Amino acid sequence: MAETEDAPTWDGFVAPDLGLIEELARDAIAALPAPYREAAALVALRVVDFAPDEVIEEMGLTDPFELTGLYDGVPLTEKSVMDQPAQPDVIWLFRRPILDEWCERGDVGLGDMVGHVLVHELAHHFGWSDGDIAAIDPWWERD
């Protein structure tokens, strides 16, 4: 199909890569309310295409597209100053399931989708209630 001035082609577009998903997640952290922003920035962020098979199996899932994100750590509400950390707290974002859900929804921007997943994983870290999540992420009431 020939390209015309009025009809651009999609040839120059590529799928969002791991780096873009991470950038959108970091933007979402920067947009958090001040009391949470600094603490959220201390949580390690990892973006990969899918959760490892052993994680999928441990969670009893049958499809890797079912898991868009995962918090791996001890919630702040359960930590003690006397505890020695065994590993850093990590939020995992899974690019392909995030993109799949984003496409299925079709009514939100990718940055909003990534932010939504990130906030829900941060909720595990901070020990947020449903009300806390809803105050930060208005999608919580739409899901």
- Please report, to the nearest 10 degrees, the dihedral formed by the alpha carbons of residues 63, 69, 73, 75 taken in order: -120
| Reported confidence tier of residue 18, pLDDT bands at 50, 70, 90 | very high
Q: What is the model's pLDDT at position 121?
A: 94
20 pLDDT higher than 90: yes
Average pLDDT of the residues of the chain: 88
Q: Is residue 9 part of a domain?
A: no
Contact indicator for 44, 25 with CB cutoff of 8 Å: no
Distance CA 135, CA 27 (A): 18
- 47 is in which domain, residue-wise? 18-75+87-141
DSSP-assigned letter for residue 60: T
| Overall average pLDDT of the 8-24 stretch | 90
Q: Is residue 81 part of a domain?
A: no
Structure tokens at 64: 């890797």
Tokens 């906030």 belong to residue: 119
Lowest model confidence (mean pLDDT) among 4-8, 53-57, 86-90, 96-100: 4-8
Q: Is residue 10 part of a domain?
A: no
Q: Is residue 61 part of a domain?
A: yes
CATH code of residue 27: 3.30.2010.20
Vertex 125 angle, CA 121 and 131, to 5°: 75
DSSP-assigned letter for residue 12: T
Q: Is residue 4 part of a domain?
A: no
Tokens 């933007």 belong to residue: 27
| Overall average pLDDT of the 9-20 stretch | 89
Alpha helices in 1-143 (DSSP H): 18-30, 34-41, 53-58, 95-105, 110-126, 130-136
51 pLDDT higher than 60: yes
Q: Is residue 111 part of a domain?
A: yes
68-103 pLDDT, tens digit each: 999 998 887 777 666 666 778 999 999 999 999 999
Vertex 83 angle, CA 77 and 87, to 5°: 90
Q: Is residue 12 part of a domain?
A: no
Q: Is residue 3 part of a domain?
A: no
Q: What is the model's pLDDT at position 87?
A: 79
Number of domains comprising the chain: 1
Please give the model's pTM, rounded to 2 decimal places. Answer: 0.85
- Terminal CA-CA length for the chain: 40
More confident residue, 4 or 65: 65
